[in-house]
Chains A and B, each alone.
Chain A
Amino acid sequence: MSAAPREIDAGARGELDPRAWRAETASLGMWVFLATELMFFGGLFLAYLYLRTHDPEGVAAASVHTHEWLGTINTAILLTSSFAMALAVHAAKQARRKAAQRLLVVTAAFGLAFLAVKGIEYGLEWRDGLVPGLHFTLAQNTRTATLFFFLYFVATGIHAVHLAIGVLTVLWIAWRLRAAALPDWRVDEIDVLGLYWHFVDAIWIFLYPLFYLVNLNA
């Protein structure tokens, strides 16, 4: 931000500490962005809601073909990555540059682990002929199963893209942290990156039961 802090927001409550102003403004900007991201995924959730309410048996039958163990392990991986990220942000706020850097790398590593497991899952799903439009060979329950897996791939695919962007950004910032200084604006960057990372985690928290936990009690 280019504005000199002296001039701003004093209209409302006279808060003039530039450091706090900067951090809160960056945070507000990221929360607004995350609101747009939630609205983006929202359309998919409506499509899922439509399918699940119009053919619950079909969705239940189709969902047995997802790999719930891999999905559950992946959820644990992502939740742990959020823990690491929270610790990284905390370290950065305490000016512990090396600790922050290491924790960011740990976060990215968990993110990469998630993507690797996802890749394995996608491979298994390709092998099993569960990819609509490209390689779909399920014999029974084809209509709803096609739609279920269409939504599965779109939702988890877009989620994976968001996660990959997160991983790359985390690694890039970790790389930049090798320099001796940890300026305030870098701490703010890590803070908002953390917000993004946790959001990607939160989206997965909802995708997991919707695609993996539908019909495990047959």
Chain B
Amino acid sequence: MKTVPALRAYAITWAALLALLALTFALAHLRLGAFNAVASLVIAAVKAALVALFFMHLRRGRALLVLFALVAPFALAILFALSGADYITREVHPAPWAAPHGR
């Protein structure tokens, strides 16, 4: 990688990361209901992707490296999805003496 374009790429990435941080912080103060959580996670994913692509050089990495970088998130997705399949389809019968809703 040539010097100047590389340094510029890093600096732009850093600036973008800080901008996204400001954005996510600001959005969190707005009342957006369920969208708050979605927005904050999407922004986090974008930030992580920027770190991976530019700081960790995945953008010019070999296909194998990209594959390795994606395998663990994929395995976690399986963990969340199938455990989630249990949680969203479970019928919960709160015991009569339990306080309402987990407090």
Contacts and interface: CB of A to CB of B under 8 A. Distances in A.
| Chain A in direct contact with chain B (Cβ < 8 angstroms) | yes
Given A75-B21, A87-B10, A209-B41, A27 B65 contact: yes
B95 interface: no
B19 to A, nearest CB: 11
Contact of B68 (A28, A45, A140): A28
Does more than half of chain A's interface fall in helix, strand or loop, or is it mixed? helix
Nearest to B54: A86
B71 interface: yes
Contact of B21 (A58, A76, A86, A142): A76
Interface of B: 1, 3, 6-7, 10-11, 13-14, 17-18, 21, 24-25, 28-32, 36-37, 40-41, 43-44, 47-48, 51-52, 54-56, 62, 64-65, 68-69, 71-73, 75-76, 79-80, 83-84, 87, 99, 101-103
A32 interface: yes
Interface string A79-101: 11011011100100010000000
A77 B44 CA distance: 16
Interface stretch (A120-128, A169-177, A182-190, A193-201): A193-201
A154 interface: no
Contacts of A216: 28-29
B103 A144 contact: yes
A162 to B, nearest CB: 15
Contact of A217 (B31, B47, B65): B31
Interface string A118-153: 000000000000000000000011111000000000
A18 interface: no
A79 B17 contact: yes
Contact of B51 (A53, A82, A141, A217): A82
Interface of A: 24, 27-28, 31-32, 34-36, 38-39, 42, 45-46, 49-50, 52-55, 57-58, 68, 72, 75-76, 79-80, 82-83, 85-87, 90, 94, 140-144, 194-195, 198-199, 201-202, 205-206, 208-209, 213-214, 216-217
B65 A198 contact: no
Contact of B103 (A50, A80, A143, A217): A143
Contacts of B72: 34-36, 38-39, 42
Contacts of B32: 217
